[in-house]
Amino acid sequence: MPVNAAQLAAGANYQMQSYAANDPIDQVNTDKPFMKWLLANKQESVFGNGVFNEKVRISNDSNYQNYSGDDQVTYNRKDVVRLAPFQHYEAHDGFGLNETELADNGIILTDDREAVPTEAEKVQIVNLIKTNRMALKDGFQENWDLEVHRDGTQSAKAVPGLDLLVSTTPAVGTIGGIDASTSLYWRNNADLNINTGTTGTLTSEMEKMWRACTTYGGMIPDFIVCGAAFYDAYRKDANLQTNRQIIVNGRSGPDADASTDNVYFKGRLVVWDPTFEKLDAILGAITYPWTKRCYFLNSKTLKLRPFKGRWMIDRTPARMYDRYTHYFGVTADYGLTINKRNANAVLSIA
């Protein structure tokens, strides 16, 4: 028996639920660590009038005075908070199946609402949708991951991502409505063109940036992510400063192992993000190649904010009257916000 459009959609939705029960994008691979970190710390939000306002404390506005005896003292009204508005952005991916493709896969589509699919047709629907659904998920993840790394200049409709919020030019631009050129508190830390020719220099510069991130508010970075060139440079610097020996019980002497499973700084895992190299391939020659960069990030200050009720929505729009094609998609609405740029840092080796 043929299959009707509702039954096709039901099969598609079954697959979508199977592969996206907790939002399809949440099923991340370890080779997208920045995306995984954002998702792990996301906070569902509402963008009233199109914006989410981060509350930024800019000073203590102190009225501290010394006095003695009957000296007159003064009082002031504290004005210490500014609102930093961030917009939300939308993304879509989808696929279509026309009736010719369906027929070639053994699925005969009809407008008969009373149609009952055979068991073979049910299996074919699931298999076909599974293949397309997996491609949809992987394609969305790949492109969304690239987008949240970039600065948003690639499109007026693209979210300003990591490259703007934690910038290699921290005193340039207006981020969240606050001008970084005039607001010293609204600048992330940056240490660029670090010379790696001398052992210990890179580690020393990382120490300086770590202290800079914790200077105001004592907020310790909880995520360190970098490109391959930076990772190798830091691993080499660490190896040259560390003597490791492995003692095996029952052996007459120690064995040496030149490899490492993981690299840490301040007890935090240093994570290589392959997307950094993908960005270099896309962008070509830039002042600070992504492969040479490292970021110290704080999840309390940098947030992925899915728009409440509009995050990772499955779509099955109606077939157009003049086309025998059936559509399936996913949309996401979200923003990236930051409320304390000086708790984050970007580093780059020369």
Average pLDDT, the chain: 86
**SS3 call for 57:** strand
Q: What is the pLDDT of residue 256?
A: 59
Q: What is the pLDDT of residue 15?
A: 42
Range 274-284 average pLDDT: 96
pLDDT band at 137; cut points 50, 70, 90: confident
CA-to-CA distance for 240 and 234, rounded, in angstroms? Answer: 10
Measured in residues, the chain has a length of: 350
Q: What is the pLDDT of residue 302?
A: 98
Decide if 89 contacts 156 (C-beta within 8 A).
Answer: no
Three-point CA angle 73, 76, 77, nearest 5°: 160
Give Cα separations from 23 to 20, 93, 233 (angstroms). 5, 14, 37
CA-to-CA distance for 272 and 34, rounded, in angstroms? Answer: 9
270-287: string of b/e by CB count within 10 Å (b at 16+)? Answer: bbbbbbbbbbbeeeeeee
pLDDT digits (tens, 9 = 90+) for 236-251: 998 876 655 556 666 5
pLDDT band at 96; cut points 50, 70, 90: confident
The listed range with the strongest mean pLDDT (108-112, 187-191, 328-332) is 187-191
Q: According to DSSP H, which parts of the chain are helical?
A: 5-19, 33-40, 99-104, 119-149, 162-165, 201-215, 228-241, 275-283
pLDDT band at 16; cut points 50, 70, 90: very low
pLDDT band at 84; cut points 50, 70, 90: very high
Closest to 161 measured CA to CA, from 56, 21, 303 = 303
**Start-to-end C-alpha separation, the chain:** 67
